[in-house]
Amino acid sequence: MIKMLDLLTEGIQDKGIFKAVFMAGGPGSGKTYINSQLFGIPYGDINVSIGGLKSVNSDSEFMMLLKKFGFDPTQLAQYPSDVFNNFSDPIKKGGSGLRDFAQDLKNARMDGYMKGKLGMVIDSTGSNFQKVKRYKKMLEDAGYDTHMVFVMTELKTAQFRNKARADKGERELPEHIVEKSWKAARKNLGGLKSLFGSTFKLVDNNKHLSPEEAIHAFVPLVKSWANHWAGNPIKNPIGKQWVADQLRLKKAGITV
């Protein structure tokens, strides 16, 4: 969970305050890797950390829970379908409820960041349009400017990269899960573009089959957009007013 020190060290004029960037795209698109790099989490030889933005990703919580209960997240594709479904299904459907628990942990982390007015990057497939829409409204009602980067790949590319993960000892998803998530995200592409308007960016990350090549091609684009968005003045009137009020209080010597 978020530490109090994380909140106290953030200032009202820090980069990324009141900024929320949604990363969308199906499995194998490269977005999760890039998402981790936006926060300076070491991976390979690339680091494109963007100051002031925090990661929000239920997958990381889910992987942690699987390890806690003795399962190997890198072997997900090897488990029988009924076992895999048990991981993801809610208790009311006879499942373990681990995915719901992971979602609750993610929401608690996100709530903590919002209370601190901290900028964040929210990693999701974009497969649930209403969920993205709901989160977007919640953030904007709290004063945030919202943005989206949608990473486009073909299904065969997504499946290829998913298999490549296994060869490197990383998490591999069952093929039918990759296809289901890919189709749902692609179906929502038009709606998401309309929802975010001018703050929507579409990235074609299909050219390079190799995950490493795709990452090197994709990093500069996301880095430039994230830097641009995080560094822009706040446009949301609620967020702007909050900052103005805090500056007035600070100038008057009043602390809250």
Distances (CA, A) of 116 to 6, 100, 113, 121, 129: 9, 24, 5, 15, 26
The whole-angstrom separation of Cα 246 and Cα 4 is 19
Q: State how far the Cα of 145 lies from the Cα of 147, in Å rounded to an integer.
A: 7
Pick from 20-24, 68-72, 98-102: least confident: 68-72
- The mean pLDDT of the chain is 77
pLDDT the model gives residue 214: 63
pLDDT at 247 over 70: yes
Cβ partners under 8 Å of residue 145, min gap 6: 18, 19, 20, 199, 229, 232, 234, 235, 236, 239
pTM for the full model?
A: 0.77
Give the model confidence (pLDDT) of 144-156 as tens digits.
Answer: 999 998 888 888 8
pLDDT one-digit tens code per residue, 28-64: 776 766 666 555 544 444 445 555 678 787 777 777 7
Name the percent of the chain lying above pLDDT 70: 73
Q: Facing residues of 54 across strands?
A: 120
- Tokens at 218, concatenated: 């994709």
If you search the block for the tokens 């390079």, which residue do you land on?
208
pLDDT at 69: 75
Q: Where are the domains of the chain?
A: 4-72+101-251
Q: In this predicted structure, what is the pLDDT of residue 9?
A: 39
The residue that leads in pLDDT, 89 or 210, is 89
Please tell me the predicted confidence (pLDDT) of residue 100.
81
pLDDT at 159: 86
Instruction: Express each pLDDT in 76-90 by its tens digit.
Output: 667 677 776 777 777
CA dist., res. 192 & res. 210, Å (int) = 27
First to last CA, the chain: 23
DSSP-derived 3-state class of residue 19: strand
- CATH number of this structure's domain 4-72+101-251, picked from the four choices 3.40.50.300, 3.40.1450.10, 3.40.50.150, 3.40.640.10: 3.40.50.300
User: How confident is residue 143, by pLDDT bands cut at 50, 70 and 90?
Assistant: very high
Q: Are 135 and 192 in contact (CB under 8 A)?
A: no
Q: pLDDT digit string (tens) for 158-182?
A: 888 877 776 666 667 788 888 888 8
> Given a cut of 60, is residue 10 above it in pLDDT?
no
The winner for highest mean pLDDT among 11-20, 77-86, 218-227 is 11-20
Question: Averaged over 91-118, what is the pLDDT?
Answer: 84
Q: Which residue, among 158, 155, 120, 135, has the nearest Cα to 30 in the 3D structure?
A: 158
